[in-house]
Structure 1
Amino acid sequence: MADKILVFYGSYRADRMGVRLADYLVERLAARGAEVELIDAKAVDLPMLDRMYKEYPAGTAPEAMETLARKIRAADAFVFVTGEYNWGPQPGLKNLTDHFLEEWFWRPAAIASYSAGRFSGVRSGTVWHSILSEMGMIVVSSTLSVGPISQTLDAQGQSTGAPGASLDRAFGRFADDLAWWTEAAREQRARKAPPY
Structure 2
Amino acid sequence: MAHRILVLYGSYRSDRKGIRLAQYSVDALRARGNDVELIDAKAVDLPMLDRMYKEFAPGSAPQAMEALASKIKAADAFVFVTGEYNWGMQPGLKNLTDHFLEEWFWRPAAILSYSAGRIAGARSNFVWHGTLSEMGMVVISSTITVGPIEQTLAADGKPIGDTGQQLDRAFGRFADDLDWWTQAVKMQRAHKTPPY
Query: Which residue is equivalent to 2:116?
Result: 116
Shift of 1:19: 0.2
Structure 2: any 5+ residue segments left out of the alignment? none
Query: Which residue is equivalent to 1:53?
Result: 53
Deviations 1:99-133 (A, max 9, x none): 00000000000000000000000000000000000
Could you state the TM-score of these two structures normalised by the residue count of structure 1?
0.99
Percent of residue pairs identical? 74
Distance 1:120 1:91 in 2: 17
Query: Which residue is equivalent to 1:132?
Result: 132
Distance 1:120 1:142 in 2: 15
Task: Give the letter for the 1:108 counterpart.
Answer: P
Deviations 1:140-162 (A, max 9, x none): 00001000000000001000000
Q: Does 1:62 align with 2:62?
A: yes
Task: Give the letter for the 1:94 counterpart.
Answer: K
Deviations 1:34-65 (A, max 9, x none): 00000000000000000000000000000000
Query: Which residue is equivalent to 2:38?
Result: 38
Question: Which runs of structure 2 are paired with 1:62-101 in the superposition (5 Å)?
Answer: 62-101=62-101
Query: Which residue is equivalent to 1:25?
Result: 25
Distance 1:168 1:32 in 2: 13
Query: Which residue is equivalent to 1:195?
Result: 195
Task: Give the letter for the 2:144 counterpart.
Answer: L
Shift of 1:94: 0.1
Distance 1:9 1:179 in 2: 20
Any idea what SS the aligned residue of 2:27 has? helix
Task: Give the letter for the 1:61 counterpart.
Answer: A
Shift of 1:174: 0.3
Shift of 1:2: 1.4
Question: Which runs of structure 2 are paired with 1:101-180 in the superposition (5 Å)?
Answer: 101-180=101-180
Q: Does 1:2 align with 2:21?
A: no
Distance 2:44 2:2 in 1: 25
Structure 1: any 5+ residue segments left out of the alignment? none
Could you state the TM-score of these two structures normalised by the residue count of structure 2?
0.99
Any idea what SS the aligned residue of 1:7 has? strand
Task: Give the letter for the 1:29 counterpart.
Answer: L
Distance 1:187 1:67 in 2: 26
Any idea what SS the aligned residue of 1:37 has? strand
Task: Give the letter for the 2:191 counterpart.
Answer: R
- Off by >2 Å, runs of 4+ in structure 1: none
Task: Give the letter for the 1:3 counterpart.
Answer: H
Distance 1:97 1:80 in 2: 10
